[in-house]
Structure 1
Amino acid sequence: MAEMKSGYIDYKGFKTYYEIYGERKDNGKKPLLILHGGPGDTHLYLLNYRDMADLYDRQIIFYDQIGCGKSNIPHQEDDFYDYDLWINEFFTVRDALGLDDFHLFGNSWGGMLATMCMLRDDTGVASMVVNGSPYNCQTWLSEANRLILYLPEEMQKAIAEAEAAGGDYSTPEREAAYMEYYRRHVVGCDPWPDFVQEAFKPENVGECFNVMQGASEFVMTGKMKDFNVLDQVKNLKVPTMLLSGTNDEATPFLIKEAYDAMPAGTEWVLVQGAAHIGNATHAKEYFEAVENFIERHE
């Protein structure tokens, strides 16, 4: 396995944690910087992308966004968390790691973050992969609630009861319904791979998830509820590929909405049978799709 180096970068009086796999070589292969989802998740559920360092002799870089994982911080008031917090963190990390010629990958919220960063300043970014990301959160919400309708009726009822109770999934019936949705549309398997289980441990998930999204996958009560950049993404200049799965909670309908708003030349790879964390079950297909795209933009 490629050598791993890690460290911290000063940011807003706290520390942003990063991991780097492999060396930056003079082989024409630009580094790939990977942004995780949430806000409030950690890089751990994307950790097997580190295998790309060995498979393709390419440096792979992760960081935990401020407020989660190894970049956890003490409790903050809600107004601490906003888009600019993580946008500015991205540019801080880019500069601190000397990333002046690289590729960018974002999963879910990470793709939203990557897109906002590229709309602000795409300096040094050769290409971008946006994996399972909504450009209109109201579409995300409506599609999630549509997918619920394909669950057994008793599970639909359990989820409705949980949401009416403020996102309380503590009963066996509610937990079973929630986990079935995750099996079908989020992780795509049961049991979860070890690195996904580790990522979703409570100590790794930041309070910012509730602030920005809400109590669960099926509500959008936080600051992201009005997120909509569909009218802005036509201004993207960086070559972009959309990546998603047929079973993804970021449904083909949602990704098609984004694709239609993107500049001409944008690509879309749809992986048969994959859910939201497609790398958990379809690693080969996801790695190949990413590498095949970014190596054309070296």
Structure 2
Amino acid sequence: MPPARTAPSSKGTVPFGPYKTWYRVTGDLDSGHPALVVVHGGPGSTHDYLLRLAEFSAHGWPVVHYDQLGNGGSTHLPERGPDFWTVDLFLAELRNLVQRLGLKDYVLFGQSWGGLLTAKYASARPAGLRGLVIANAPASYPLWLEEMEILRSRLPPGVDETLRRHEAAGTTDTDEYHTAAMHFYERHVCRLKPWPRDWQATFYELFNDPTVYYAMNGPSEFHVNGTLKDWGVLDCAADIAVPTLVISGRHDEATPRTVQPYADLVPDVRWEILEDSSHVPHLEEPERFDAVLHDFLKTVGQGG
């Protein structure tokens, strides 16, 4: 992949009901090649940490990034409660984006929460979908929570006790909680030091408006007490009818046990574990990540 940051060919917003969804396109959507639509995590994150995927436009795939409703360049709604922020809302937003941009052939790349969202979307077998990439995503939040208990137990002495004390007291917005949480994040979310610029940009965006994250996820990656805590895609993964690539990291918070259902249930699936990565292998092992994704895309699209 080219080392320089790839400039967008267009940016803008599309209407989504009374709201707006911000998007960024790199490459030519009219080239005749399938678009790679990048769906970020969170919920409540932004596109920034996935920007380097724009470099795939140099190989023939126009790349679409967007910010999900409630974050980044899309409409913010800090007054909305948990009942507003639903999986169906974000499925509708993704469908709307695909239609508004006139995408006839496309591949979905969903990372973390975006992986579950795109799996659910793909299970409905939408027209034009040619392939699916599920990156660093559990298939079930109940499974995720079971694995979080194990990962938390392996943190340095006293860290989990500090975290649980604040979680019980409802003081997860304190500096002490955030400092203790960094032990987990540096092991299982991003192992690079210092954190890359794009990752920091997303982290700051989420910090500035955590409405969606708090409502659907909770105060941290490992303390999921929001509306998603009982949700997953175990009931629909078998309905995915396109070639699917699953990616995870050996040190990922999305542990192999949380990812295994995709390998078991999706009919046409390939799973790659990147050995030196945690939750963001596109940043932690970029060359290996690029090779894996490029090989997959060549089997489902017309890129070079």
Taking structure 2 as the reference length, the TM-score comes to: 0.91
Residue 69 of structure 1 aligns to a residue in which SS? coil
- Distance in 1, matches of 2:48 and 2:60, equals 21
* Kept after mapping to 2: 8 A contact 1:9/1:15: yes
* Kept after mapping to 2: 8 A contact 1:68/1:204: no
Corresponding residue of 1:134? 138
Pair 1:282 & 2:285 matched: yes
Residue 200 of structure 1 aligns to a residue in which SS? helix
1:201-235 CA-to-partner distances (Å, cap 9, x unmatched) read 14654411111111211222211111132132112
Work out the percentage of aligned pairs sharing the same amino acid: 31
Q: Please give the residue correspondences for 1:153-232 in structure 2 after superposition, counting only pairs within 5 Å.
A: 153-166=157-170, 168=172, 170-172=174-176, 174-201=177-204, 202=206, 205-232=209-236
Q: Please give the residue correspondences for 1:1-298 in structure 2 after superposition, counting only pairs within 5 Å.
A: 1-4=5-8, 5-24=10-29, 26=31, 29-54=33-58, 56-74=59-77, 75-166=79-170, 168=172, 170-172=174-176, 174-201=177-204, 202=206, 205-263=209-267, 265-298=268-301
Closer/same/farther in 2, CA of residues 3 and 168 from structure 1, 3 Å limit: closer
Residue 216 of structure 1 aligns to a residue in which SS? coil
Query: What is the letter of the counterpart of residue 139 of structure 2?
Result: Y
Deviation at 1:77, TM superposition (A): 2.9
Query: What is the letter of the counterpart of residue 57 of structure 1?
Result: G
Query: What is the letter of the counterpart of residue 11 of structure 1?
Result: F
Residue 106 of structure 1 aligns to a residue in which SS? strand
Closer/same/farther in 2, CA of residues 283 and 25 from structure 1, 3 Å limit: farther
Residue 226 of structure 1 aligns to a residue in which SS? coil
* Kept after mapping to 1: 8 A contact 2:33/2:105: no
Query: What is the letter of the counterpart of residue 107 of structure 2?
Result: H
* Kept after mapping to 2: 8 A contact 1:111/1:129: yes
* Kept after mapping to 1: 8 A contact 2:42/2:114: yes
Residue 15 of structure 2 aligns to a residue in which SS? strand
Deviation at 1:248, TM superposition (A): 0.5
- Distance in 2, matches of 1:162 and 1:182, equals 17
Closer/same/farther in 2, CA of residues 245 and 205 from structure 1, 3 Å limit: farther
* Kept after mapping to 1: 8 A contact 2:124/2:239: no
Deviation at 1:276, TM superposition (A): 0.7
Calculate the aligned-residue CA RMSD, in Å.
1.7
* Kept after mapping to 2: 8 A contact 1:250/1:276: yes
Residue 145 of structure 1 aligns to a residue in which SS? helix
Deviation at 1:112, TM superposition (A): 0.8
Alignment: residue pair count: 294
* Kept after mapping to 2: 8 A contact 1:245/1:271: yes
Structure 1 gaps of 5+ residues are none
- Distance in 2, matches of 1:130 and 1:239, equals 11
- Distance in 2, matches of 1:237 and 1:171, equals 46
Residue 229 of structure 1 aligns to a residue in which SS? coil
* Kept after mapping to 1: 8 A contact 2:125/2:241: no
- Distance in 2, matches of 1:203 and 1:150, equals 26
Query: What is the letter of the counterpart of residue 10 of structure 1?
Result: P
- Distance in 1, matches of 2:171 and 2:184, equals 14
Residue 231 of structure 1 aligns to a residue in which SS? coil
* Kept after mapping to 1: 8 A contact 2:29/2:103: no
Give every structure 1 segment of 4 or more consecutive aligned residues whose post-TM-superposition deviation is greater than 6 Å: none
Structure 2 gaps of 5+ residues are none
- Distance in 1, matches of 2:208 and 2:23, equals 15
